[in-house]
Amino acid sequence: MSTERTEIEKLGEFGLIDQLTKNFETQNASTVLSIGDDAAVIDHFGKQSVITTDLLIEGVHFDLMYTPLKHLGYKSVIVNLSDVYAMNAQPTQITMSLAFSNRFSVEALEEFYEGVQIACERYGVDLIGGDTSTSQKGLIISVTAIGEVTPDQFVKRSTAESGDLICVSGDLGAAFLGLTLMEREKKIFLENPQVQPSLENEDYIVGRLLRPEARKDIIDYLAEQNIVPTSMMDISDGLSSDILHLCRQSGLGCRLYEDKIPLHEDTKAAAFKFGLDPTVCALNGGEDYELLFTMKQSEYDKITMQEEISVIGYMCDLEEGNKIITKGNNVFDITAQGWNAFVK
């Protein structure tokens, strides 16, 4: 591994941008003009545009003690693409802006952009611009994602109807347990730097934290089946918080069934190892980047063959409240205990 370090001031801002983006190639016809001018030009040829922005801040959203820069670059793209898919749209372009302190070298930023490039190529997205600046401390990442959708086929959070099925993609809770594990190992390392991290057999939960995927496959499957969800969002703050968002914005209540919430076997094993309830991890964890959506009961037969979609409950009238039915058939209120950026 090269130990060469190139100071950023040696290249200057424009030289740095050229260096970091020289290997990116245009993949979408809608990208008319990309990096290198005062602004990018895109043309979606009659489609409607979907635009979303995310901010990732060192020490708040990620910890570089256990987050490789390449993984961070990849994840920075994924969290934005997930929001586009959650609108039932297809992402086509991103912009990437960074602010960094002088502890970052050109080589470190190249490692970050390598992850960005892998994500762009995997999801067929063009990097079309951005900005760089200095930061007094830490790394700040701002990504804007642009997508396209057939007119009036976008899906909002506020359009669920009573009786709709509540569905999720994939499985939940793994990313939270990956974070729990990495924070434990960080604490042990800080107390005793000679102790090596103990990550054996924890690849799944660590991978779900450091290198999540956006659910393009689910959006493609729904399109193939001619299913337009009645409401949808991605699960970034935890199932409990996000289902309450859907309920509040749709003016409805819900019923969730504990035994229907999808959990990976490695997630269950890790939860028990930490003395945690796997269901609580799934409800309150966050950063799963799975899709949470509602659909008409009449379309249920269309998803029975898709193992990556689980029906976990149904929407009901507002006055019936938001409840979860446990495996023991007890009924509890659902409370928002997921991620909140403004709570310490």
Q: Where are the beta strands (DSSP E) in 69-108?
A: 90-100
pLDDT digits (tens, 9 = 90+) for 5-39: 888 777 766 677 777 777 778 888 888 877 766 66
**Domains by residue range for the chain, with CATH:** 8-149 (3.30.1330.10), 165-333 (3.90.650.10)
The pairing of beta strand 253-257 with beta strand 322-325: parallel
How high is the pLDDT of residue 29?
A: 84
Task: Give me the mean pLDDT over the 318-333 stretch.
Answer: 95
pLDDT interval class at 341 (50, 70, 90) = very low
Q: Tell me: pLDDT of 327 over 50.
A: yes
pLDDT digits (tens, 9 = 90+) for 231-283: 999 999 999 999 999 999 999 999 999 999 999 999 999 999 999 999 999 99
Return all residues near 98 (Cβ < 8 A) that are at least 6 apart: 109, 112, 130, 131, 132, 133, 139, 140, 141, 142
pLDDT digits (tens, 9 = 90+) for 81-134: 999 999 999 999 999 999 999 889 999 999 999 999 999 999 999 999 999 999
How high is the pLDDT of residue 26?
A: 83
At 77 the three-state DSSP class reads helix
Of 83 and 342, the structure prediction assigns the larger pLDDT to 83
Taking the C-alpha atoms of residue 287 and residue 180, their distance in angstroms, rounded to an integer, is 13
How high is the pLDDT of residue 152?
A: 84
280-305: buried (b, 16+ CB within 10 Å) or exposed (e) per residue?
A: ebbbbbbbbbbbbbbbeeebeebbee
Task: Supply the mean pLDDT for the chain.
Answer: 91
pLDDT digits (tens, 9 = 90+) for 303-314: 999 999 999 999
Taking the C-alpha atoms of residue 248 and residue 131, their distance in angstroms, rounded to an integer, is 36
Q: Tell me: pLDDT of 343 over 50.
A: no
